[in-house]
């Protein structure tokens, strides 16, 4: 695979070099010309690299492959020099800042400027010299692009040939080639779906007579085979018309419609206009019940493809009631696109076969045509049974390997085949790799990098995006943060079903992981798990993953171009610290370091050599103290410690370097316990996006004013607000100008007697921005709400509100008017009497339009849901409520009318006896509207 990262990196380097040189005294004419040539060559390089990747011509052209490697080396060298210059600039700024603490600036500023001007005028600046040499090397390598321009036409033809060959191999007929093994349950589901004509006519919808079913699964999962067996079943005779169309990667609107007509008329229509083809299909299906299978659909451009499929499906709208369309595809995005067109969604996802099904399928192909009885090959069947797990439940791999085994019914042959790389077969790879080869270049880089991780690795979306950013994989876009852009990249990969959601995390399907790891291994990534495989690694590898293989660490010095290094050690490794020292000295180009081990005694101070490092993650039961030299790695964007952490031996000042605030490029920092709260002068970390523990102190470096310039914060928790001494200091936090802030927690430390007027003024002056989604307030001791809470507009976008231990609060703000509020938690607020106090300006009470979760606990004086004298229309309260929990509300006697959406009702603790009796599950009648609730939990005190 051609290295696609070279194109965006080269573009960035040209721009950065120009910016740097414009700031220098004595513009270098030679370098200016070289940069101009690079700009001229950039489009040519882009075309050649793109063509080399799409058509894989570099795989068969050693000269092209060598040139791309040289280009990547030259680009990396220039990028490293620029990165070093930025590092030195930041280092200088920090040194100058320290000097200003002790000396007047005029004593050193003017001499420094004179020296730098003279140095550059004489062209002796060593940094500028290094940059010149790097640009000259890149210019020399780039000039060779002309040697390969002639390959562009050939590459286009090769790509067309490859796509045609792929289409021919994927082109399917409606007749199955073998019996159906496995998939019985899925087949029954599809058959039942075919039996149901349609739920009912759907009003005036264009496709009201048509039902849609999408079969989604990875390549080789048996989607086509399943529908072939359904298509030939007796049940399909109930349809007036049947059509089977193989779409594959050769999607053309007129061709698909012509294929449909060929199925209906048994002859190929002559070349006609789209309109005439549509009219003929419309006439053929008019008022007739049809079955259409669209097999193997891909997606290039979502919006453009949607428009094309609307043209294909439009003439089918004339079909009769009960008509059916079945689609097979690898991606959820295609299924969702069809659902948007037909306005109906029914999806069946095909996973891998069970082991016994896989073994049955393997034996059926391996012994096909063998006339001797099964007991003659008992040993072969045992060998197959022992190794069937390696097939990962893939019907395609099972069939292909079964065919290979069939050639020689010898034990040695079977062991050799089944112990080899089963997914190295070209026929398997040709099918599987199509899923990621069709990705756009920027997504292909990001996806290839994911193969670094071990099989079954749990991917966390935000963390993976941070890695992509650290490695320069994200292409900036105006008006969006890099994190948002990276998140959109990941969302596309999910829609392409390259990742599966597992709880809150994601996994790469084993089948895809094995195939993609093999495909991208040579140039993008490598997983090392034994000594033998380590010997095969190219010394120019950029990304290396080491799993339980200490031997490779002794050879680490030969991998001088590493940009990312992953160390996965399940067991304790006493030599790891020594190995890390060697790594830090040898691999100075690292941008990303990920250490996952059971125990780690320390991180060596030699980490200071990694001046390009952007991302550091440590997963360990025991977290070592962070090295003092860490605070000198000015490019660091992400520091993550992830683990339980037995850290009681460290105080905050011992665990962190005292000058950690020097890392002004930090975007995210995750540390154990409350060590972040110990950072003095954290306000210098202006780019920080999450600050989950900020403890206000009445001392320099810890006041709430530290938050003033931290305008990139998305999540913020402020504790110890009783230490804010006056209103003006509270204003200095400037929360309302933080336009990315979505989660805010405001806490006072205790509920003891305090200056209540000051608390009120502090909260009044901590007004959040309108973009806030989640708000939590704890231990606020005033009776009234903040002024900004009484007007709905400033908090219009809130989705979750949690008020806890606010013992004196009496009158709640008009939360019922918040249009997006989904969760409201009121805990230990004994003086609140009513849940809602304001209405929409007329006699109709329409409150909490989207509220799904309501928790009321410790509201001792709550008597009713409304202000006294106000009546509400029952149907307008909590229309979307799913869960209602009431705890310790002794004055509350009755609930409002409960909506049909309610799934769970809990009443427990010190609640009024009448309330419990009235809503007890065994009350016997639906007088109180509870029969529809699946879960009711009424407990005694």
Q: What is the DSSP string of 853-901?
A: EEEEES-TT--BSS-TT----GGGBSTT--EEEEES-TT-----PPPTT
Contact predicate 797/770, CB 8 Å: yes
The pLDDT tens digits for 318-340 are 999 999 999 999 888 888 888 88
Burial class of 415 by CB neighbour count within 10 A (0 to 12, 13 to 18, 19+): middle
Fold observed for domain 441-519:
Arc Repressor Mutant, subunit A (1.10.10)
Region for 919 from its dihedrals, namely left if φ exceeds 0, alpha if ψ lies in -120 to 50, beta otherwise = alpha
pLDDT at 102: 53
94-108, 368-382, 697-711: least confident range? 94-108
Give the pLDDT of residue 683: 94
Which pTM does this prediction carry? 0.80
Instruction: Name the pLDDT band for 933 (thresholds 50, 70, 90).
Output: confident
Half-sphere exposure in the Cβ direction for 428 (13 Å, CA): 26
* pLDDT tens-digit series, residues 113-151: 444 544 444 344 666 778 888 888 888 888 888 877 777
CA distance 280 to 289: 16
Q: Are 676 and 692 in contact (CB under 8 A)?
A: yes
Which of these, 592, 586, 585, lies nearest to 608 by C-alpha position?
Answer: 585
521-645+663-670 CATH pick, 3.80.10.10, 3.30.70.260, 1.10.10.60, 2.40.50.100: 3.80.10.10
Question: For 368-392, what is the mean pLDDT?
Answer: 79
Q: What residue has token string 């096909």?
A: 368
pLDDT at 923 over 80: no
Across residues 673-691, what is the average pLDDT? 90
Residues 179-195: what's their mean pLDDT?
Answer: 88
CA distances from 402 to 179, 378, 431 (A): 15, 16, 17
**DSSP structural state of residue 212:** E
List the structure tokens of 445: 């880089």
Contact between residue 461 and residue 490 where contact means Cβ atoms under 8 Å apart = yes
342-356, 368-382, 411-425, 518-532, range with the lowest pLDDT = 518-532
Average pLDDT, the chain: 81
How many Å apart are CA 420 and CA 413, to the nearest integer?
A: 11
Distance CA(783)–CA(905), nearest Å, equals: 30
**Shortest CA distance to 4 belongs to which of 442, 464, 470, 449?**
442
CB 332 within 8 A of CB 494: yes
- Which residues, in sequence order, are CB contacts of 73 under 8 Å at separation 6+? 540, 561
790/787 Cα distance (integer angstroms) = 6
773-785 mean pLDDT:
94
Strand partners, 534: none
Rounded Cα–Cα distance for residues 612 and 614 (Å): 6
Determine the pLDDT at residue 738. Answer: 95
Per-residue pLDDT tens over the stretch 708-737: 999 999 999 999 999 998 888 899 999 999
| 3 state SS of 526 | coil
Beta bridge partners of 500: 507
574-588, 762-776, 859-873: least confident range: 859-873
Q: Which residue has the higher pLDDT, 585 or 404?
A: 585
Compute the half-sphere exposure of residue 464: CA atoms within 13 Å on the CB side of its CA.
27
Q: Give the CA dihedral 593, 595, 601, 604, nearest 10 degrees.
A: -10
**Cβ atoms of residues 58 and 64 within 8 Å:** yes
Residues 6 or more apart whose CB falls under 8 angstroms from that of 935 comprise 903, 904, 905
d(CA 886, CA 862): 11
CA–CA separation, 655 vs 673, rounded Å? 11
pLDDT in tens, 807-857: 999 888 989 889 999 999 999 999 998 876 554 444 445 678 899 999 999
Asked if pLDDT for residue 11 goes beyond 80, the answer is no
Shortest CA distance to 516 belongs to which of 438, 451, 455? 451
Which is the CATH superfamily of the domain at 184-349?
A: P-loop containing nucleotide triphosphate hydrolases (3.40.50.300)
Query: Does residue 223 carry a pLDDT above 60?
Result: yes
pLDDT band at 869 (very low <50, low <70, confident <90, very high): very low
* pLDDT of residue 449 exceeding 50: yes
Q: Report the Cα 897 to chain-centroid distance in Å.
A: 41
Residue whose tokens read 């991998």: 559
Q: Which helix (H) or strand (E) holds 210?
A: strand 210-216
Pairing of strands 505-507, 500-502: antiparallel
Residue 66, SS3? helix
Q: What is the pLDDT of residue 376?
A: 65
Q: Is the pLDDT of residue 586 over 90?
A: no
Percent of the chain topping pLDDT 90: 29
Contact indicator for 503, 460 with CB cutoff of 8 Å: no
What pLDDT shows up at residue 868?
Answer: 47
Write out the two tokens for 531: 């000594």
Name the more confident of 114 and 895: 895
Q: How many CB atoms lie within 10 A of CB 897?
A: 13
Position 753 scores a pLDDT of 66
Assigned token pair, 573: 């490794």
In 23-146, which ranges are continuous DSSP H helix?
29-55, 62-100, 109-121, 126-143
Q: Please say whether the dihedral angle defined by the alpha carbons of residues 755, 756, 759 and 760, taken in this order, is positive or negative.
A: negative
CA dist 207 and 309 (Å) reads 13
pLDDT at position 841: 46
**Whole-number pLDDT of residue 110:** 46
Q: Looking at residue 845, what DSSP letter applies?
A: -
Angle, in degrees to the nearest 10, between helices 6-22 and 29-55: 170
Place of tokens 């001792």: 860
Instruction: Give the start-to-end residue ranges of the domains of the chain.
Output: 1-101+121-155, 184-349, 357-422, 441-519, 521-645+663-670, 680-795, 810-940
For position 111, what pLDDT does the model report? 46
pLDDT attached to residue 745 = 97
The DSSP-derived string for 556-625 is GGG-TT-SEEEEEESS--TTHHHHHHHHHHH-TT-SEEEEEESB-----GGGGG-TT--EEEEE-SBPPP
Q: Is the pLDDT of residue 513 over 90?
A: no
The pLDDT of residue 108 is: 43
Question: Which residue(s) pair with 886 in the sheet?
Answer: 856, 907
Query: What's the CA gap between 835 and 895, in Å, rounded?
Result: 12
pLDDT band with cut points at 50, 70 and 90 for residue 526: low
CB of 862 within 8 A of CB of 833? yes
Q: Which residue has the tokens 């680009």?
A: 75
The C-alpha angle with vertex 932 and arms to 929 and 936, in degrees rounded to 5, equals 85
Cα distance between residue 860 and residue 855, in whole Å: 14
Q: Find the range with the poorest average confidence among 100-114, 426-440, 742-756.
A: 100-114
Q: How many CB atoms lie within 10 A of CB 591?
A: 24
Q: What are phi and psi of 778, to 5 degrees?
A: -130, 135
- Res. 612: pLDDT tops 80: yes
């Amino acid at each position: 695979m051609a290295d696609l990262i070279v194109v965006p990196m080269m573009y960035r380097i040209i721009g950065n070099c120009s910016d740097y040189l414009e700031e220098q005294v004595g513009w270098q004419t030679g370098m200016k010309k070289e940069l101009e040539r690079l700009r001229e060559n950039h489009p040519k390089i882009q075309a050649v690299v793109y063509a080399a990747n799409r058509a894989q011509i570099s795989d068969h052209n050693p000269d092209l492959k060598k040139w791309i490697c040289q280009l990547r080396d030259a680009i990396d060298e220039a990028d490293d020099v620029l990165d070093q210059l930025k590092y030195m600039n930041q280092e200088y700024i920090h040194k100058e800042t320290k000097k200003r603490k002790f000396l007047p600036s005029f004593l050193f500023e003017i001499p420094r400027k004179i020296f730098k001007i003279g140095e550059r005028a004489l062209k002796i600046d060593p940094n500028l010299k290094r940059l010149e040499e790097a640009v000259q090397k890149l210019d020399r390598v780039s000039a060779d692009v002309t040697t390969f321009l002639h390959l562009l036409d050939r590459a286009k033809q090769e790509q067309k040939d490859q796509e045609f060959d792929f289409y021919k191999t994927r082109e399917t007929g409606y007749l199955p080639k073998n019996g159906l093994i496995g998939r019985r349950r899925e087949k029954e589901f599809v058959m039942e779906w075919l039996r149901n004509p349609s739920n009912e006519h759907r009003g005036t919808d264009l496709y009201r007579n048509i039902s849609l079913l999408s079969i989604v699964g990875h390549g080789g999962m048996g989607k086509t085979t399943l529908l072939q067996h359904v298509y030939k079943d007796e049940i399909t005779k109930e349809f007036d018309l049947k059509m089977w169309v193989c779409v594959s990667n050769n999607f053309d609107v007129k061709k698909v419609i012509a294929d449909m007509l060929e199925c209906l008329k048994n002859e190929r229509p002559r070349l006609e206009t789209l309109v005439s083809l549509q009219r003929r299909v419309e006439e053929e299906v008019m008022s007739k019940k049809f079955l259409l299978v669209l097999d193997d659909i891909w997606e290039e451009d979502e919006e453009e493809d949607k428009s094309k499929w609307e043209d294909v499906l439009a003439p089918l709208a004339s079909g009769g009631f009960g008509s059916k369309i079945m689609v097979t595809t690898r991606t959820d995005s295609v299924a969702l696109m069809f659902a948007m067109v037909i306005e109906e969604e029914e999806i069946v996802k095909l996973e891998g076969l069970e082991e016994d099904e896989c073994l049955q399928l393997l034996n059926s192909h391996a012994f096909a045509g063998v006339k001797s009885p099964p007991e003659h090959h008992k040993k072969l069947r045992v060998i197959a049974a022992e190794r069937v797990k390696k097939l990962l439940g893939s019907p395609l791999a099972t069939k292909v390997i079964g065919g290979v085994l069939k050639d020689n019914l010898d034990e040695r042959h079977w062991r050799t085949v089944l112990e080899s790389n089963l997914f190295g077969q070209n026929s398997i790879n040709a099918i599987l790799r199509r899923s990621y080869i069709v990705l756009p270049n920027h997504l292909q880089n990001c996806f290839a990098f994911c193969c670094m991780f071990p099989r079954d690795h749990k991917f966390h979306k935000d963390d993976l995006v941070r890695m992509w950013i650290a490695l320069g994989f994200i292409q900036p876009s105006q008006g969006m943060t890099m994190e948002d852009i990276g998140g959109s990249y990941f969302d596309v990969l999910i829609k392409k079903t390259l990742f599966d959601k597992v709880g809150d995390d994601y996994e790469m399907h084993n089948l895809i992981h094995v195939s993609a790891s093999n495909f991208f291994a040579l140039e993008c990534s490598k997983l090392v798990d034994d000594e033998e495989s380590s010997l095969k690694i190219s010394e120019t590898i950029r990304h290396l993953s080491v799993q339980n293989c200490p031997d490779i660490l002794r050879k680490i010095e030969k991998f001088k171009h590493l940009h990312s290094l992953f160390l996965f050690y399940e067991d304790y490794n006493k030599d790891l610290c020594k190995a890390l020292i060697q790594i830090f000295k040898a691999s100075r180009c690292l941008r990303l370091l990920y250490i996952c081990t059971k125990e780690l005694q320390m991180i060596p101070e030699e980490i200071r050599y990694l001046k390009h490092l952007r991302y550091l993650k440590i997963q360990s039961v025991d977290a070592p103290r962070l090295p003092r030299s860490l605070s000198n790695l000015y490019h660091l964007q992400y520091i993550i410690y992830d683990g339980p952490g037995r850290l009681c031996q460290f105080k905050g000042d011992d665990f962190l370097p005292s000058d950690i605030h020097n890392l002004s490029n930090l975007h995210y920092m995750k540390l154990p316990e409350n060590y972040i709260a110990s950072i003095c002068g954290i306000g210098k970390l202006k780019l920080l996006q999450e600050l989950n523990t900020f403890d206000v102190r009445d001392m320099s470096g810890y006041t709430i004013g530290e938050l003033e310039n931290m305008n990139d914060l998305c999540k913020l928790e402020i504790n110890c607000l009783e230490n804010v001494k006056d209103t003006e200091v509270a204003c200095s936090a400037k929360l309302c100008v933080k336009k990315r802030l979505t989660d805010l927690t405001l806490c006072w430390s205790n509920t003891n007697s305090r200056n209540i007027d000051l608390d009120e003024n502090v909260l009044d002056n901590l007004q959040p921005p309108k973009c806030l989604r989640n708000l939590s307030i704890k231990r606020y001791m005033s009776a009234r709400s903040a002024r900004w809470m009484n007007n709905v507009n400033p908090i219009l976008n809130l989705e979750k509100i949690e008020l806890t231990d606010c013992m004196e609060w009496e009158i709640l703000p008009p939360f019922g008017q918040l249009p997006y509020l989904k969760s409201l938690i009121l805990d230990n607020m004994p003086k609140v009497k009513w849940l809602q106090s304001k209405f929409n300006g007329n006699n109709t009470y329409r409150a909490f339009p989207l509220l799904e979760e309501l928790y009321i606990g410790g509201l001792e004086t709550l008597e009713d849901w409304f202000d006294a004298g106000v009546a509400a229309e029952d149907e307008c309260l909590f229309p979307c409520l799913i869960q209602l929990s009431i705890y310790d509300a002794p004055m509350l006697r009755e609930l409002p009318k409960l909506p049909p959406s309610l799934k769970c009702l809990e009443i427990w603790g010190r609640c009024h006896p009448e309330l419990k009796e009235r809503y007890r599950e065994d009350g016997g009648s639906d007088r109180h509207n509870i029969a529809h609730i699946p879960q009711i939990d009424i407990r005694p005190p």
